[in-house]
């Protein structure tokens, strides 16, 4: 719609925002009317109309099988559009049109903002299934007529209320029509069922909805006057009401077709099961985070015990082996600590990588600097945990074997992520400027424990590849190539 309006019309950005607000609300008008809606806006030169938006009803058959958005029609071809635009009134005159052997009643509703008519809504009703209307259908049609008059007068939509139509109740979920005093004139079967869920034993018709709602929603203090006012439909508001184990979502729409409020529409939906499932998910999320927190604490306890044991050992090799085990356990603990703060089993691995580098750098001989560049991105927990251990082993190996005591140097960790969605790969390179690999060294057959862990985790658990070779000039170049899922 933005492109069509800016390309073909003279409307301002504030006018465009008004049209967006209207389009976010007009599903309600379409459902209440049992009709298709097409928004036509005059072009810049005033000789044509361009259709910038379209809506089909959920409550009846469509009148348009094709998408009308982007169509241009010359002025004069549809006289009802011309009359609504020029005279600023709703136009209903004329015989039904026949489209593919289907009779269609066409009406035109001017869209007004601050006294100016921005465009026209063509309301098209499929008459093929017309029958004697029920009380519910009559209420729908009367409410649609009131809303249409409000649109023509510039009183709807409400500029200070942005509605999320995906989350807001719709007409089919439950509808109540109130008079000017807030007394129920009509309640749809779904609306009545929702109030029965709150504990109402009687009928709603003839009851003051605000007071009944406040009585069904217990509060610790006096009667909730704000809830009474909302359920009475005095102002456009949304709220949730909970009582008797049930939860309903309310949306009030004041009806002012000719200026003064003549009544209100209250849309409502029973969201009891939805809220129950949300609470269960919140409880499960909290439980999972607590488990990760306890695992992290237990791993830190294990690391502390290993550290104590290392201090008591006389063997230099045994002490070093225990210190390596401490760092391996610590790298896993970092992942679980990160997961304990997340709502899902995915982590931002760059934070973990930085903490791993800081932990391993504590053993760096001399003045060796560890640096990271690039971005690893968000990874699943089953990838992040072994990858943190792999990164620990590779960087630790570089620090232990590439530099002599007191020697200055750098260890650069670079991450590159990319590839088509569903086949992304994470490429991590670790390069030092140390003494390099011994002559004849084969990383695929080297028997030290650290490289065995790296090969097992990268190739076996992560399904990737590992390579270690002399760097150009000086040092060692390690490449980790790992398949990962998309971040989205």
- Per residue in 420-479, pLDDT (tens digit) is 665 689 999 999 988 888 887 777 776 577 788 888 889 988 999 998 888 888 889 999
Query: Residues 218-240: pLDDT tens digits?
Result: 764 455 677 788 888 888 988 88
Fill in the DSSP letter of residue 45: T
pLDDT-derived band at 41 (thresholds 50, 70, 90) equals very high
Average pLDDT over residues 328-338: 82
Q: What is the pLDDT of residue 447?
A: 59
Query: Residues 267-313: pLDDT tens digits?
Result: 999 999 988 888 887 777 777 778 878 888 888 888 888 888 888 88
Average pLDDT over residues 331-339: 81
Work out the percent of the chain whose per-residue pLDDT is above 70: 94
Judge contact between 156 and 140, C-beta under 8 A. no
DSSP state letters, 442-470: -TTT--SHHHHHHHIIIIIIS--EEEEEE
The number of residues in the chain equals: 488
Task: Give me 127's structure tokens.
Answer: 């008459």
Instruction: Name the CA dihedral angle for 417, 418, 422, 428, rounded to a multiple of 10 degrees.
Output: -30
pTM for this entry: 0.65
Q: What is the pLDDT of residue 334?
A: 83
Residue 178 has pLDDT above 60, yes or no: yes
Give the separation between CA 306 and CA 246, rounded to whole angstroms: 54
Q: Are strands 102-113 and 116-126 parallel, antiparallel or unpaired?
A: antiparallel
Between the alpha carbon of residue 436 and those of residues 195, 305, 393, the distances in Å are: 76, 35, 17
Query: Residues 363-398: pLDDT tens digits?
Result: 666 678 888 999 998 988 888 888 988 898 888 888
Q: What phi and psi values does residue 160 have, to the nearest 5 degrees?
A: -95, 10
Judge contact between 128 and 39, C-beta under 8 A. no
Judge contact between 247 and 169, C-beta under 8 A. no
Give the separation between CA 436 and CA 348, rounded to whole angstroms: 32
């Amino acid at each position: 719609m933005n492109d069509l309006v800016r390309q073909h019309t003279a409307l301002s950005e504030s006018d465009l925002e008004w049209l967006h607000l209207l389009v976010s609300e007009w599903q309600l008008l379409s459902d209440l009317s049992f009709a298709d809606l097409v928004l036509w806006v005059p072009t810049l030169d005033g000789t044509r109309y361009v259709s910038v938006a379209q809506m089909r009803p959920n409550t009846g058959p469509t009148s348009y099988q094709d998408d009308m958005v982007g169509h241009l029609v010359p002025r004069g071809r549809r006289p009802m559009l011309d009359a609504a635009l020029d005279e600023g009134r709703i136009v209903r005159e004329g015989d039904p049109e026949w489209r593919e052997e289907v009779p269609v009643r066409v009406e035109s509703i001017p869209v007004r903002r601050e006294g100016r008519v921005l465009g026209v809504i063509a309301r098209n009703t499929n008459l093929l299934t017309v029958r004697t209307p029920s009380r519910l259908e009559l209420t729908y049609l009367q409410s649609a007529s009131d809303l249409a008059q409000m649109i023509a007068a510039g009183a709807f939509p409400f500029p200070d209320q942005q509605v999320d139509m995906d989350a807001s109740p719709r007409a089919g979920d439950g509808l109540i029509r109130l008079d000017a005093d807030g007394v129920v004139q009509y309640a749809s079967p779904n609306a009545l069922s929702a109030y029965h869920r709150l504990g109402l034993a009687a009928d709603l018709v003839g009851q003051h909805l605000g007071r009944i709602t406040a009585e069904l929603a217990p509060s610790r203090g006096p009667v909730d006057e704000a809830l009474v006012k909302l359920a009475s439909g005095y102002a456009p508001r949304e709220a949730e009401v909970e009582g008797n184990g049930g939860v309903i979502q309310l949306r009030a729409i004041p009806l002012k077709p000719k200026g003064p409020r003549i009544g209100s529409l209250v849309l409502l939906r029973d969201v009891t099961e939805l809220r129950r499932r949300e609470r269960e998910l919140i409880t499960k999320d909290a439980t999972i985070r607590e488990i990760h927190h306890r695992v992290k604490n237990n791993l830190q306890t294990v690391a502390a015990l290993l550290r104590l044991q290392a201090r008591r050992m006389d063997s230099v090799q045994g002490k070093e082996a225990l210190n390596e085990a401490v760092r391996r356990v610590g790298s896993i603990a970092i992942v679980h600590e990160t997961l304990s703060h997340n709502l899902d089993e995915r982590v931002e691995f760059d934070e973990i990588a930085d903490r791993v580098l800081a932990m391993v750098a504590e053993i760096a001989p001399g003045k060796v600097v560890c640096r990271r560049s690039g971005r690893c991105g968000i990874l699943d927990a089953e990838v992040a945990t072994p990858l943190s251990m792999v990164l620990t082993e590779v960087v630790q190996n570089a620090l232990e074997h590439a530099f002599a005591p007191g020697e200055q140097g750098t260890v650069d960790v670079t991450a590159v992520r990319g590839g088509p969605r569903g086949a992304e790969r994470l490429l991590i390179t670790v390069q030092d400027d140390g003494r390099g690999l011994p002559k004849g060294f084969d990383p695929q057959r080297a028997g030290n424990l650290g490289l065995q862990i790296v090969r097992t985790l990268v190739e076996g658990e992560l399904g990737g590849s590992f390579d270690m070779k002399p760097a150009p000039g000086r040092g060692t170049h390690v490449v980790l190539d790992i398949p990962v899922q998309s971040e989205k």
